[in-house]
Each structure stands twice: as structure tokens, then as C-alpha cells.
Amino acid sequence: MNSSRVVVAIDGPSGSGKSSTSRGVAQVLGLDYLDTGAMYRAMAWYMLDRAADLDDPVGIAALAGEPHLSSVTDPSAPAISVDGRDVSEPIREAAVTGAVSAVAAVPQVRERLVELQREVVRVSLANGRGIVVEGRDIGTVVLPDATAKIFLTADAEARAARRALEDAGRSGADAPGHGDIAATAASLAQRDAIDSGRAVAPLRRADGAVQVDGTYQTLDEVIATIVEIVNEAAAAT
């Protein structure tokens, strides 16, 4: 496979394992990696840092062009900065998680970030490297002509358990309790409703995307499945 022209779009709902899977696929295939969700989180972090009113889309739109966002596309050490400050950790905090859907629903935010995402892809390809891009509208909006399009899913219980485990790890807890998983499930359901119901670039399976259900597969198995799909798609082009 000539990886220098390969573009892989991986979409799916929160907690489906997109980040771990996408990074793994990129590492196996020797590709760059871009987490577009981190870009929306970075924008949400910026809005919170500026004390923007999250219920005021006009105000958010007015600020959307201000921050300089820069993404590191190394799958072994991805990072994102805002105006030169590394915000890779702060964007995972609860306040940002609670704000990101509202910020991401503003059309001007999406327009700016989609162009930035496409520019990252252009740079990777110009440097002779393909790229794996993950998010919620990659195959439908950002990169509809991607070499391979994947829609990664998992059932609601598995997604909630995975996300609760990630959150527990960030807080230093040994493992999430039943209440933590239930709360996470409710949060994911709310996020799904917002992402799927928004007027601009709603979450949906792109035309031509291969659906991969990771509910009963290990991470390595999901990665191997997608690598095979990508190799087959690349060979057909």
C-alpha cells in the first residue's frame, strides 16, 4: 500500500473507541493522526477561558476566528495548542466536556474548524504521509472523498463503561462505580442527541462508510479489522 496518499475517515459516537482505535490504525499503517474532537474541545476551552455565554451562539461565532489552533499529528504523542499553550489536558476536564456540544453546534465554529482540518490533511499529504482523521462528520463533510470511511460503533452500555473508565483514570480513581457508569451513560445519551440532531453536520454514517461494531472486540481486533478495510480500499484506488 502506498501510504503517502491514504486518507482514512473514522466517525462514530462518543465512547465508541475512536481515539484509541484511530491512533492504533495510524501507528500500524505509518500514517499521521488528527483528532478533530480535540479541536472542538480546544475551541470550547477558549470560549470558557474568555467567559463566553454558551447560550449565545452569536457571541460564540464572533469569537470563533480569534484563537490560533495547532495540532501535533504524531499518533504516538498527539497534542493540541491554543495560542501557543498546550491544552491537551485541560480540554478533557468536565467543564469543557459540558460545553463542547454547544460550541460545536455553532455554524461559524464548524466552518472554521473544517477548513483547519482540511489544511492539516493537505500538509500531511504534501509531506508524503497519509493520515487518519477521526470525528463525527469526517466522512460526511470534512473528507467525503477519503480513501476509506469507517463508522465505528459500540452498544450504549459498552460505550458508557469505556468512557467512565477513562474518566476514572484521569481523576486517579481505581475503577468507576455503578453510579459513575450510569451517569456517564446519561451524559453520552445527551451528547448523542445533540450531535445527531444539530442542523449543521449532524452525526450520521457517511455514504460508502463501513460500519465496525467494537462492542465484543478487543482494541487490537478492531484496529486489525480497520487496517484490513483500509488496505483493501487503498488497493482498489
CATH class of 3-236: alpha beta
Confidence at residue 181, expressed as pLDDT on a 0 to 100 scale: 64
pTM here?
0.85
Confidence at residue 176, expressed as pLDDT on a 0 to 100 scale: 53
Confidence band (pLDDT; 50, 70, 90) for 117?
very high
Q: Determine which of 12-21, 25-34, 136-145, 151-160 has the lowest per-residue pLDDT on average.
A: 151-160
Confidence at residue 184, expressed as pLDDT on a 0 to 100 scale: 66
- Comparison of pLDDT for 158 and 25, the residue scoring more: 25
176: exposed, middle or buried (C-beta count within 10 Å: 0-12, 13-18, 19+)? buried
- Examine the pLDDT at 138 and tell me if it is beyond 80: yes
What is the rounded CA–CA span in Å between residue 23 and residue 35? 9
Q: What is the pLDDT of residues 48-103, one digit of tens each?
A: 999 999 999 999 999 999 999 999 999 999 999 999 999 999 999 999 999 998 99
Confidence band (pLDDT; 50, 70, 90) for 16?
confident
Domain ranges of the chain: 3-236
- Per-chain mean pLDDT for the chain: 89
What is the rounded CA–CA span in Å between residue 63 and residue 79? 22
Q: Determine which of 133-137, 168-172, 212-216 has the lowest per-residue pLDDT on average.
A: 168-172
- Examine the pLDDT at 43 and tell me if it is beyond 70: yes
- Comparison of pLDDT for 124 and 2, the residue scoring more: 124
C-alpha separations of 192 from 15, 49, 145, 185, 203 in Å: 10, 25, 25, 10, 8
Query: Left if phi > 0, otherwise alpha if psi is -120 to 50, otherwise beta: which for 128?
Result: left
DSSP structural state of residue 139: I
Q: What is the pLDDT of residues 145-192, one digit of tens each?
A: 999 999 999 877 777 676 666 665 555 555 555 556 677 667 766 776
What is the rounded CA–CA span in Å between residue 118 and residue 122? 6
